[in-house]
Amino acid sequence: MYQSNRMWASASFVGVLIIIGMPLWWKTTEVYRVSLPYEKISSFKPLSHFVTTELKVLANDDATASKIVSEIQKAFAESDIIKIKIEKTVMSERQQHILRSVVDMEKAVEELASTLDLDQENIFHVVQKKSLSHNIWVGNERIMFFDDEKASETIVKALDGWIYQTSVLRGSRSDTPDQARSTRFPPESAYHITLSIVHPRPDTMKVVWNAAEAVEDYIGSFVDELSSLHNFTLKSQWLHLLDFDFQAREVKEVSEWGRHFAVRQDRLSLLLTRLEERAATHVSELSTINLALYIVPCDKAPIIIYDNEGRKNPLSIQAFMSPKWGGVVIASPPAEQCSQQVREFEPSVGQIMGAFVSHLRELLGITKKDAIEGAHLEPSRSVSPRRWEVDALLRIRTLEQVTSAERTLQSLAQLLEEISNIVINDEVGASIAAAVSELEAGAGEGAGADAARAGRAHAHAQRAFTHPGLLALLYFPDDQKYAIYIPLFLPIMFPVVLSLRILLLWFMGKPVHKEKTD
């Protein structure tokens, strides 16, 4: 019959447009996305990570050792950020003899090193040494001396504040960065360190300064100790005729100069802008830690930095640090040089590079150690960081990288959920998968062995998050897409969808038109 022909025609419209056309359209306009391990990513709990470390307590007798161990255990039992494996030993006769006979601390550590393995990373020793001037003593090596069991409170404080730095660890794990995290550079596998010597007036004064040697000697020996964490490339350059107006106020005083120029602290950030113009930090592919030595011309010397409350900088060296940017030292030539016809200024290498190293310590994440009552911290004699500081940094960086990698992946997953037209190409997919597998393999096992794994996971996650491929289709929002489709699809789909009812009735064998029955 005609009717069945018509119905089949209608059905074929439905077939072509809805059953074949729609899925085809859906498939061809789909945003390309590699399947991602969403469940694994959402199961990450960045706040659950902690680090593990080992501690060896050595005392003259078992009772003291047990007392100290129980005190430490009690103090760190509730810590969710660090798990300490404590081992107690009674010292051998030889060790006790060394500690009794050698008075000089450094020497005692040296002698003791033959009986203890101090080179192992992430293992710290707490050793009893009678008749100390303080309750405890901490030096450069992974060792701490304590007097007797009365020192237990100080030991716990020193372990918490200096050795393990639990507050910094917590800051590196938390959502909002703490003071230390907002100062140090974000974790990366390698950095460039560039020393720029700014010489505004090369025509009036000669500056004697071997930049290459200073950088290699001081910065080089400092960063060598951190080579397990990052690779460093050291560079130096001279920037001539870069003049900066400090807007300094002249202050009369009784000295060789008879004056000094007072520079307000808030003015100094403008110097960084001026330096950025010429320092060419954007050329390197890695993040650059900037160090700048500004040589003050004679007619503007000496410059002294005043803080925002108008207090004079008490130190002999004028320096400041800008978080996540670098450090600046302002060197003024001495008065007797400026009074001469031929001016030649040789800035003190040790003092200036010392200031730069102290900037670098903070920029790379070694925090300042607050004084603890009854505890003595041996001042560092060389530029290189203390061994236990490197251990602490390794723990901080590991925790930071693991949590940051997890957060990065989680925010990426969230973004993908919210914005439907982000492309995930194979490369990004592979990076995400690699980061997830690294994170799963080394989840929360702490520092040491898996620090490298944390670094890799972080690098993979960063690469995935910042891949330009994600943005390929971001400028084609959905509403604009439908503005093109609707004028075409609406007039076509309208009759087809309406015909569905009649078609259904016909297939079910029910009468299609009421009038027909007449």
Residue closer to other proteins by CB (options 167, 284) is: 284
Is residue 283 at the binding interface for other proteins, with CB under 8 A as the rule? Answer: yes
Is residue 488 at the binding interface for other proteins, with CB under 8 A as the rule? Answer: yes
In DSSP notation, 49-103 reads --EEEEEEEEESSHHHHHHHHHHHHHHHTT-SSEEEEEEEEEPPHHHHHHHHH--
DSSP 8-state secondary structure symbol assigned to residue 518: -
Task: Name the nearest CA neighbour of 257 among 244, 265, 248, 269.
Answer: 248
From the centroid of its chain, how far is CA 422? 27
Q: Can you tell me which of 119, 153, 224, 243 binds other proteins, judged by CB under 8 A?
A: 243
Is residue 514 at the binding interface for other proteins, with CB under 8 A as the rule? Answer: no
Q: Can you tell me which of 39, 78, 175, 277 binds other proteins, judged by CB under 8 A?
A: 277
Is residue 215 at the binding interface for other proteins, with CB under 8 A as the rule? Answer: yes
Report the site for other proteins in 80-119 (rule: CB under 8 A). Answer: none
Residue closer to other proteins by CB (options 243, 266) is: 243
CB of 232 to other proteins, least distance (A): 11
From the centroid of its chain, how far is CA 314? 31
Sheet holding 303-306, edge to edge: 249-252, 259-264, 303-306
Is residue 259 at the binding interface for other proteins, with CB under 8 A as the rule? Answer: no
Choices 4-12, 115-123, 180-188, 293-301 (CB under 8 A): range interacting with other proteins: 4-12
Q: Can you tell me which of 101, 487, 514, 517 binds other proteins, judged by CB under 8 A?
A: 487
Cα 209 to Cα 30, 199, 212, 347, distances in angstroms: 62, 11, 9, 7
- Paired tokens of 433: 């998968």
318: phi then psi, degrees, rounded to nearest 5: -95, 110
Q: Can you tell me which of 23, 186, 202, 350 binds other proteins, judged by CB under 8 A?
A: 202
Is residue 19 at the binding interface for other proteins, with CB under 8 A as the rule? Answer: no
CB of 31 to other proteins, least distance (A): 20
Q: Cβ(131)–Cβ(161) under 8 Å?
A: no
Residue closer to other proteins by CB (options 310, 487) is: 487
CB of 13 to other proteins, least distance (A): 6
Three-class DSSP category at 199 = strand
Tell me the β-bridge partners of 345. 207
Choices 247-255, 273-281, 315-323, 465-473 (CB under 8 A): range interacting with other proteins: 273-281
Is residue 341 at the binding interface for other proteins, with CB under 8 A as the rule? Answer: yes
Is residue 10 at the binding interface for other proteins, with CB under 8 A as the rule? Answer: yes
CB of 261 to other proteins, least distance (A): 22
Tell me the β-bridge partners of 197. 238, 293
Is residue 237 at the binding interface for other proteins, with CB under 8 A as the rule? Answer: yes
